[in-house]
Amino acid sequence: MNSLFNPESVALLFARTLLAVLFIFQGYDKLFRIGPEEVAKSLYPSFQKFGISRSLFQTGIWLNAFIEFACGLFLLMGLLKYVSLSLLGLNMLLVSAAMSLVNPVWDMKLIFPRFLLLLFILLFPDEYDVLSLSYFLKSL
C-alpha cells in the first residue's frame, strides 16, 4: 500500500466507526440513561415463562450492555478489533436466540444491518486496517 488513505482503508474506517458508534450509544443507553434494571424490568415478563431466574436475566442484561459499550469503544479506537467483533457477534447471536424464544418472527431491522457491518469488517483483510490505533502502536 502506498498510502494510508486508500479506498479500502477509508471504507474499513467508516464501517468500523459506524458500527462502533451504534454499539457505544446502544450500550450507553442501557448502562447510563435507561439503566440495566429498567431494561430487565421491561423485558423480564416475556422471559419469565421459560423459567429463567430474574438474577440470571439481569446479569445477562448487564453483560450485554457492557459488551456493547466497551467493544464499541475499542472498535472506535481500533484496538482489540477481532476480540471486540467476536464478542459483539456472539452477543448478537445470543440476543437473537433470546428474542426468537419470545417471538419467532420478531423484527430484525435493527440487528441485521449491524450484523452485516460486523461481517464486512471481520472479513476485510487486516492489512487495510491502517487507520487505527492498533496499527499506529504496531508501527512504533
Locate the domains of the chain by residue range. 7-138
Residue 117 has pLDDT above 60, yes or no: yes
1-59 tens-digit pLDDT: 457 889 999 999 999 999 999 999 999 999 999 999 999 999 999 999 999 999 999 99
Residue 69 has pLDDT above 90, yes or no: yes
Contacts 24+ apart (CB under 8 A), 48-55: 50/101
Residue 116 has pLDDT above 90, yes or no: yes
pLDDT at 2: 53
DSSP string covering 61-80, please? HHHHHHHHHHHHHHHHHT-S
pTM of the shown model: 0.92
pLDDT at 108: 87
In this prediction, residues 112-136 reach a mean pLDDT of: 94
pLDDT at 106: 86
56 to each of 34, 60, 61, 70, 100, how far by Cα in Å? 19, 6, 9, 21, 18
